[in-house]
Amino acid sequence: MNGAEALIQVLSDSGVEVCFANPGTSEMHMVAAIDGQPKMRAVLGLFEGVVTGAADGYGRMADKPAATLLHLGAGLGNGLANLHNARRAFSPVVNIVGDHATYHLPFDAPLTSDIAGVAAPMSNWVGTSTSPDDLAKKGALAIEAAMVYPGQVATLIAPANHAWDDCKKPAKPAKLSKPKPVTKAALAKAVRAMNKSGKTALFLGNRALREDALVQAGRIAAATGCRLLCETFQTRLQRGAGRVALERLPYFGEMAADYIKDFDRIIFVGAKPPVSFFAYPDKPSFIPAEHTELVILADVHRDAEDALTRLANALDAPKEPANVQAPMLMPIEPGRLTAAGVGTVVAKLMPENAIVSDEAATAGLALFPLTAGAAKHDWLNLTGGSIGQGLPVGVGAAIACPDRKVMCLQADGSAMYTVQALWTMARENLDVTTVILNNSSYAILNIELARVGVSNPGPKALSMLDLSNPTIDWVKLSEGQGVPAVRADTAEDFHKALKDALAHKGPRLVEAIIPSPGG
């Protein structure tokens, strides 16, 4: 057994079943080792951002890591944007990054780089093997790091000679830690806060947004009358008719500040106090009002469901939760398609237990509220703000949950960052229906241009936000990568196209033509 085989064996023994890969020469022994491991699936991505984004989506839905296999520092660098998103989502991910043989490094070959330095900003744990035996041991440590509740990004650097040289003995599987419970002091403080008079909100994030945890939040709302809020961009929100409903914090900082300014106190579970996504002239960065009492019941690394259950029980909350979402479907307005029209159709046709990967950007402001009363589903959001996440996350989610329909609601501009994900969907025959919301614009940046104080942008500035010269043909792009596609520009055509796409098992794409800003 060589070092690569020992590493892949310990990954498999520790529960890693999938490797998303874009390997190079330095990883060929890893490729051979995966080939010889019957319990591990290999999924090729044509760009490293697809690989890392897919691992993020897989981790969100499987609650355990997939591995990635990346080529040296340059390959890792190509995947960093979606590792940033994964780290912000607290997704469990294990990156395996090949390096030159240790004796080759002093020659400073063209692809030599500081891989640890590249990895560090987007990783919670970075390790480099020191020998073939250590490679597998470090692999177990990487899994242990990735599985620290609720999840982390771990990166293991594997010199090529450690992969091909003999390993004396296999490593022991990873020892996984349990989530930390909330402290008694934090619970007591939250109980006191909940029993005070005035307006109170329970602000939830990450694992607090799962169905069982939301039931406990609903019990607390039933007992106290508090309002239930959630992060603007959620890792995984289980929502839809029959589940406890939440109020989503608005995206723009001043709107968010106005939304929560009247609360006397906010109790946080699985989330931290919100801040503005960006800084703006003469606008505050920290969103809560000065008079609002902020109480951290459980930070993101504490067991969220346990914290909410203990708080509900301490408040003698009723068994049945409040705020249960009723079915709610808006009528479809015929005629020219709009973002709202897309939302009403998606809500009507969404299959039970669907998974939604949302990178719809500005259009998502309409899609999210319109789908609140749709069939039960999981909603995965752009946690870190680095665009190009939506399609790869859909890939990973589909592989983690092959029995569930995945819907990618995707803005046209950000889809171009990782368009290669469509090829992987076709290659793996993944049950993903993608809706491209095509307004031929970086629409959010047109809004932001005004918000930072640019009142009269000229043609040069506007050209940097415009995607209509030339217009991107998503039907051809999709079909060229093996995914059948159709275009729709009316609500009627979109309803028919989406219904047909969802009826098929396997990848499909619908290009929804919606108005551009000012169009």
- CA distances, 504 to each of 477, 483, 500, 507 (Å): 20, 12, 7, 8
Which ranges in 195-319 belong to alpha helices (H)? 211-224, 253-260, 304-314
Tokens of 336: 């020219």
Q: Name the pTM for this structure.
A: 0.95
pLDDT at 441: 64
Separation of alpha carbons 239 and 378, rounded Å: 6
Q: What structural domains and CATH numbers belong to the chain?
A: 3-164 (3.40.50.970), 184-314 (3.40.50.1220), 339-513 (3.40.50.970)
Tokens of 46: 């044509």
pLDDT at 461: 73
**Residue whose C-alpha is closest to residue 362's, from 345, 344, 340:** 340
**Would you state the torsion angle of the CA atoms of residues 340, 343, 347, 352, taken in this order, to the nearest 10 degrees?**
-170
Q: Return the residue matching tokens 């919606």.
A: 514
Which helix or strand (DSSP H or E) is residue 230 part of?
A: strand 227-230
pLDDT tens digit at each of 519 positions of the chain: 999 999 999 999 999 999 999 999 999 999 999 999 999 999 999 999 999 999 999 999 999 999 999 999 999 999 999 999 999 999 999 999 999 999 999 999 999 999 999 999 999 999 999 999 999 999 999 999 999 999 999 999 999 999 999 999 889 999 999 999 999 999 999 999 999 999 999 999 999 999 999 999 999 999 999 999 999 999 999 999 999 999 999 988 899 999 999 999 999 999 999 999 888 888 889 999 999 999 999 999 999 999 999 999 999 999 999 999 999 999 999 999 999 999 999 999 999 999 999 999 888 888 999 999 999 999 999 999 999 999 999 999 999 999 999 999 999 999 999 999 999 999 999 999 999 999 876 666 666 766 666 777 777 776 777 777 788 899 999 999 999 999 999 999 999 999 999 999 999 999 999 987 655
Q: At residue 99, what are phi and psi to the nearest 5 degrees?
A: -135, 165
Cα Rg of the chain, angstroms: 24
Query: Do residues 378 and 238 make contact, with C-beta atoms less than 8 angstroms apart?
Result: yes
Exposed/middle/buried for 170, CB within 10 Å: 0-12, 13-18, 19+?
middle
Give the CB-side neighbour count of residue 187, counting CA atoms within 13 A: 18
Query: Do residues 2 and 29 make contact, with C-beta atoms less than 8 angstroms apart?
Result: yes
Other beta carbons within 10 Å of 368 = 21
Angle at 299 between CA 293 and CA 304, to 5 degrees: 110
Exposed/middle/buried for 184, CB within 10 Å: 0-12, 13-18, 19+?
exposed
Q: How far is CA 417 from the centre of its chain?
A: 16
Exposed/middle/buried for 67, CB within 10 Å: 0-12, 13-18, 19+?
buried
**283: CB partners within 8 A, 6+ apart:** 253, 254, 276
Separation of alpha carbons 503 and 506, rounded Å: 9
**Residue whose C-alpha is closest to residue 135's, from 177, 170, 94, 175:** 170
Q: How does DSSP classify residue 417?
A: G
Separation of alpha carbons 439 and 471, rounded Å: 10
